[in-house]
């Protein structure tokens, strides 16, 4: 081996081994994330099977327009992230920084819309707890629905916030020219994470927003 690359950690033989390890590490991490969210999806499934009518009624109190907009925003952010990964592979620094910045912007738009929705639920007493109020027969199931709504979208939003932070770090480093054709593993594996968080939302959106729609 000739000159060691400055990004090569001492435990690895070469950059190729390091890339393999980092990428496998991210995939394994995403598997644990699937199991983590999986527990919540399981709880949701059981609760909805127990109270189908209550869940459908409660679901009608969610704003499909805002939720749909957010879905579109996230899908676009996945596109910009994928383009950022491409830019890093072909070693185009400005293009990489640009798409990373766009990804951050779209992530922030998502979070702002989510915050507007949360505020709306507070105003309408749809946050579980002592202030919760809902029309009589389905009040309990509706509270359960909103418990899960906040747990699932809250956990997802937390992942979004972490994702925005990660991409922001990438942006700074990309601007400084840290990533080259030779070494851009962090961009690739952060892309995997971003797409994963996106896919979680693709499942959350219909399960939470669309189950109450009239057929």
Partner 1 sequence: MSTGTGASVPTLGHENYLNVSYGVKSWLLTTDHKRIALLYLVSITLFFFLGGAFAVLIRLNLLTPQGDLVSAETYNKFFTMHGVVMIFFFLIPSIPAVLGNFLIPLMIGAKDLAFPRLNLSSWYIFNLGGLFTLYSIIRGGVDTGWTFYTPYSSLYSNTHVVATVVGIFITGFSTILTGLNFIVTIHTMRAPGMTWFRLPLFVWTHYATSLIMILGTPVVAITLALVAVERVFHLGIFNPALGGDPVLFQHLFWFYSHPAVYIMVLPAMGVTTELITTFARKKLFGYHLVAAASFGIAVIGFFVWAHHMFVAGVSPYAAMIFSILSYLVAIPSAVKVFNWMATLYKGSVSWATPMLYGLGFIGLFVMGGLTGLFLAALGLDVHVHDTYFVVAHFHYIMVGGAVMGYLGGLHYWWPKISGRLYPEALARFSAIVLFVGFNLTFFPQFILGYLGMPRRYHAYPPEFQVLNVLSTAGASILGIGYLLPMFYLIWSMRYGPVAGPNPWPATGLEWQTPSPPPPHNFDVTPVVSWEPYDFANRPDLKYPAPAPELGHFQPAAQD
29 binds partner 1, rule: CB under 8 A: yes
Considering only residues 101 to 140 of the shown chain, the ones binding partner 1 according to CB under 8 A are 128-130, 140
Q: What DSSP string runs through the chain?
A: --SPPTT--TT-SSHHHHHHHHHHHHHHHHHHHHHHHHHHHHHHHHHHHH-HHHHHHHHTTS-HHHHHHHHHHHHHHHHHHHHHHHHHHTT-HHHHHHHHHHHHHHHHHHHHHHHHHHHHHHHTT-SSSTT----GGGHHHHHHHHHHHHHHHHHHHHHHHHHHHHHHHHHHHHHTT---SS--HHHHHHHHHHHHHHHHHHHHHIIIIITTS--
Considering only residues 30 to 89 of the shown chain, the ones binding partner 1 according to CB under 8 A are 31-33, 35-40, 42-43, 46-47, 50-51, 54
Single out the segment in contact with partner 1 by CB under 8 A; choices: 4-12, 88-96, 118-126, 183-191: 4-12
Which C-beta is closer to partner 1: that of 86 or that of 132?
A: 132
Single out the segment in contact with partner 1 by CB under 8 A; choices: 13-21, 62-70, 188-196, 206-214: 13-21
192 binds partner 1, rule: CB under 8 A: no
Which C-beta is closer to partner 1: that of 22 or that of 89?
A: 22
Report, in Å, the least distance between residue 62 CB and partner 1.
18
Single out the segment in contact with partner 1 by CB under 8 A; choices: 95-103, 114-122, 143-151, 161-169: 143-151
What is the contact surface with partner 1 in residues (CB under 8 A)?
9-13, 17, 20-21, 24-25, 28-29, 31-33, 35-40, 42-43, 46-47, 50-51, 54, 128-130, 140-141, 143-144, 147-148, 151
């Amino acid at each position: 081996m000739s000159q060691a690359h400055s990004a090569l950690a001492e435990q690895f033989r070469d950059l190729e081994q390091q890339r393999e390890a980092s990428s496998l590490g991210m995939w394994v991490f995403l598997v644990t994330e699937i199991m983590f969210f999986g527990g919540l999806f399981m709880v949701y499934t059981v609760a909805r099977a127990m109270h189908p009518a209550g869940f459908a009624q409660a679901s009608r109190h969610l704003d499909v327009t805002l939720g749909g907009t957010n879905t579109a925003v996230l899908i676009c952010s996945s596109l910009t992230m994928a383009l950022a990964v491409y830019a890093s592979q072909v070693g185009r620094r400005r293009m990489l920084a640009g798409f990373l910045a766009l990804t951050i912007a779209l992530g922030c738009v998502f979070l702002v819309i989510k915050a507007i929705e949360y505020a709306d639920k507070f105003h309408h007493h749809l946050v579980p707890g002592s202030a919760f109020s809902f029309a009589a027969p389905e009040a309990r199931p509706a509270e359960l629905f909103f418990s899960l709504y906040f747990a699932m979208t809250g956990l997802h939003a937390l992942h979004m916030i972490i994702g925005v932070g990660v991409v922001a770090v990438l942006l700074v480093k990309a601007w400084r020219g840290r990533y080259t054709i030779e070494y851009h593993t962090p961009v690739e594996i952060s892309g995997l994470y971003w797409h994963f968080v996106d896919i979680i939302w693709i499942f959350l959106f219909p399960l939470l927003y669309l189950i109450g729609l009239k057929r």
